Structure 1
Amino acid sequence: MHVPRRETVYADLKARAPADDPNGHWLSQLYASWMAGEGGLPHYLGLEPETFWALTDWYFPGARINGVAPSGQHADYSRMLERDDLRRQLLGHAARPEATELPWLADILVAGCMGGDHLWQDLGFWSRADLSGFIAHNFPSLAALNSRDMKWKKFLYKQLCEAEGIYVCRAPSCEVCIDYPKCFGPEE
């Protein structure tokens, strides 16, 4: 199977994306990486097939995209309760709760959380800054809560745990935890 270069796919998709919507840039990266077999997103980006096609048509009309992940990743539905909790958390911070595409974007972020690498890498973003921009644009109040720039996947799960009253740090506060430095800083 021919796997296209992500830069080539990005350029094509970005040209099709709505010029006035910053999500076009970020989704062009995400799709391009995914189509090049990079990242950890499963088939259909973790969306239902009909939702995948709606999102694709919404942002990239006329693009030729296959819903099957070249990486061969499959969605892990054994963590469904966790997926639902993460989705609710994200949508509770949606910039525009009425926007059709925000639940789709939340579902893609949740699918990325099921991966085993840094969230920006699992999603196929080209840098952590791209992920941070994407979250700040679509889920601004959530981004504001991450005022100390904690790694996103750790931050999302920490927020879930705190909402449930579960505190898994081995120390009474993060600042004295021996693993604390690993939660912040570069992810390159």
Structure 2
Amino acid sequence: MQRHIHSLSNYPVPEDRIAQLLRRSLAAVLRGAQDGNLPLFTWTLGLSQEQLLGMLAEIFPELASGLEPLPDTQYAHFLLTTPVDFTDLVNMLCTQRSVSTDSKLGEWLARVIAAASFGNRHLWQDMGLSGREEVDELLATCFLPLYQGNAANLKWKRFLFSELGKSKGLVALRPPGCQHCDHFLICFPN
């Protein structure tokens, strides 16, 4: 599976805009995990290897026959390092899914967004998107209640972890990678 990730984004993208953004984001997250720009657990998206390979085969059917699983022990190690906040963030995103968004697509997007939220850069960068506008587009289309909740127009990672913190009764839950960002003092002045 590893040897194919760098080339995923070179394949023709589907006509559907959300599917296109999902493909780009998923490729970027897996590439980020492989290259060390995202924590290794993000490689799994919190899924069993069988579920991940099935997801990849469905999103990238042109690669289905070439995907090779990682050794079970290596994959299990990656999966075991998944933080609780990742799973909670996925669940929070899924509960904020737009009514019109297919549940499977919504879950896949939630997993990709949550994984990218653990990176050290802006969410759009860790998702391999061209800017915040594409994150806005994804969230407005697929997670409308959450998108509408960001009335203060906070950076998306900050907003997602703030909402997650509220749901857990924690006042100041911050994204784990933000302290490395050059905008940290802008987002968290205190």
Structure 1: segments with no counterpart, 5+ residues: 69-73, 170-178
Q: Quote the RMSD (CA, aligned, Å).
A: 3.5
| TM superposition shift of 1:35 | 4.1
Match of 1:50 in 2: 50
Match of 1:173 in 2: none
CA distance in 1, matches of 2:48, 2:12: 21
Tell me whether 1:10 sits opposite 2:9 in the alignment.
yes
Tell me whether 1:149 sits opposite 2:149 in the alignment.
no
**Residue among 150, 168, 175 paired with 2:172:** 168
Q: TM-score scaled to structure 2, two decimals?
A: 0.66
Aligned pair in 2 of structure 1 residues 66, 181: CA closer, same or farther (>3 Å)? Answer: same
CA distance in 2, matches of 1:181, 1:118: 14
**Residue among 18, 22, 31 paired with 1:23:** 18
Asked if the contact 2:9/2:27 (under 8 Å) is kept, the reply is yes
| TM superposition shift of 1:45 | 4.6
Match of 1:83 in 2: 86
- Cα deviation digits, residues 153-172 of structure 1 (max 9, x gap): 10011112223343339xxx
- Cα deviation digits, residues 24-58 of structure 1 (max 9, x gap): 21123224434486652632455432222222232
Tell me whether 1:138 sits opposite 2:137 in the alignment.
no
Aligned pair in 2 of structure 1 residues 49, 149: CA closer, same or farther (>3 Å)? Answer: same
**Residue among 103, 107, 129 paired with 2:107:** 103
Amino acid at match of 2:62: G
Asked if the contact 1:87/1:107 (under 8 Å) is kept, the reply is yes
Q: 53-62 vs 150-159, which deviates more?
A: 53-62
Aligned pair in 2 of structure 1 residues 77, 3: CA closer, same or farther (>3 Å)? Answer: closer
Amino acid at match of 2:43: H
Asked if the contact 1:29/1:126 (under 8 Å) is kept, the reply is no
Match of 1:174 in 2: none
- Cα deviation digits, residues 35-82 of structure 1 (max 9, x gap): 4866526324554322222222322212255677xxxxx5673522x2
Amino acid at match of 2:9: Y
Higher helix share: 2
Tell me whether 1:40 sits opposite 2:35 in the alignment.
no
Where 1:101 maps in the other structure, the secondary structure is helix
| TM superposition shift of 1:131 | 1.8
CA distance in 2, matches of 1:66, 1:143: 36
Aligned pair in 2 of structure 1 residues 180, 9: CA closer, same or farther (>3 Å)? Answer: closer
